[in-house]
Structure 1
Amino acid sequence: MIEKTISDILTKKKLTLSVAESCTGGLLSHSLTNIPGSSKYFICGVVAYSNETKIKVLNVAHDTLKEHGAVSKETALALANNIRHITGTNIGIGITGIAGPGGGSALKPVGTVFIAVAIGHHMYFKKFRFSGNRLKIKSQAKDAALNLLKECLT
């Protein structure tokens, strides 16, 4: 179970983590906090579904959203970096995407997900294109975020 592996690494390295989610709707936070003892490292999870919340709560620049859109590399990086700074954690994760069934476009079809991890001054980023229904896309995005976090930690 990857959540347990991440828990062990974070606990051993005494690192803390916060998450800013959009399209996953809290699924990543839920998954991470299912592990007993997660309160040692999991500090905060924010579901920032609206642009207004991204701006007001997570300090994503209005220009970032206007120029690149809510579903973009730039927004995912801002979410990860800003949640880390706001909460004072070692690590921040940002997830944004289109879970569907509507909302997609030719450039960003349903299933497009951007995930970023901020650790100190290092930023990691991946773009994904998942398929399936809304729940499958959300689950795949959560799994991808866990895998990216594990890669960054090892």
Structure 2
Amino acid sequence: MKMINQSVLCKVAELLKHKKLTVATAESCTGGLIGHTLTNISGSSEYYDRGIISYSNRAKMELLGVKEETLKKYGAVSEQTAREMAMGVRERSKVDIGIATTGIAGPTGGTKEKPVGLVYIGLSAKDGTIVRRFNFHGDRLENKKSTCNAALQILLEYLEGKLF
């Protein structure tokens, strides 16, 4: 069974506190797991502002400002949607960093073009917004944990000055 990477989590928490940065999450396929994980560290209220579980397209539009045209043209599971989710949660929450996940955790819901395990993770900060694409191959829970670990790793890379 895949585990959450505690060493990356601890580094992320330490750097967020040290740099006095705040973060908010917009989660679809992870269903709140990233927010849950970030708040497992004592003192997380110093850096974690909020988490939005935007599972439906309606929630993505209403809570994060994802454009209906984006969802129609590219779909909920797309680089474009992940980008708008990350930017939306950062701007609407007035935090330093927004992290977003959208994907197909499985075991159903996949297509040839968008298979089970396809995930997009977005990170938005004042320096810019990036989106990375992943293809995980576990069961539903493993895919959610893999996505959480990947999001934490991207956040760590940003905090270490390796993204922009």
Letter in 1 for 2:28: S
In the TM superposition, what whole-angstrom CA distance separates every residue of 1:45-90 from its partner, at most 9, and x where no partner exists? 0100000100111111000100110000001011100000001000
Aligned residue runs from structure 1 range 101-120, under 5 A: 101-120=107-126
Aligned ranges 1:5-84 → 2 under 5 Å: 5-84=11-90
Q: Deviations over 1:68-125 (max 9, x none)?
A: 1000000101110000000100000010000011111111100000001011141122
Runs of 4+ in 1 over 6 A off after TM superposition: none
Q: Which runs of 5+ in 1 are unaligned?
A: none
Aligned length in residues: 154
Structure 2 stretches lacking a partner, 5+ long? 1-6
Offset of residue 2 of structure 1: 1.3
Structure 2: distance between partners of 1:108 and 1:92: 24
Residue in 2 that maps onto 1:99: 105
- Separation in 2 of the partners of 1:121 and 1:20? 19
Show the counterpart of 1:126.
132
What is the SS of the residue equivalent to 2:64?
coil
TM-score, reference length from structure 1: 0.98
Q: In structure 2, what is the Cα distance between the partners aligned to 1:119 and 1:86?
A: 13
DSSP 3-state at the match of 1:131: coil
In percent, how many aligned pairs have the same letter? 45
Q: Compute the TM-score of the two structures, normalised by the length of structure 2.
A: 0.92
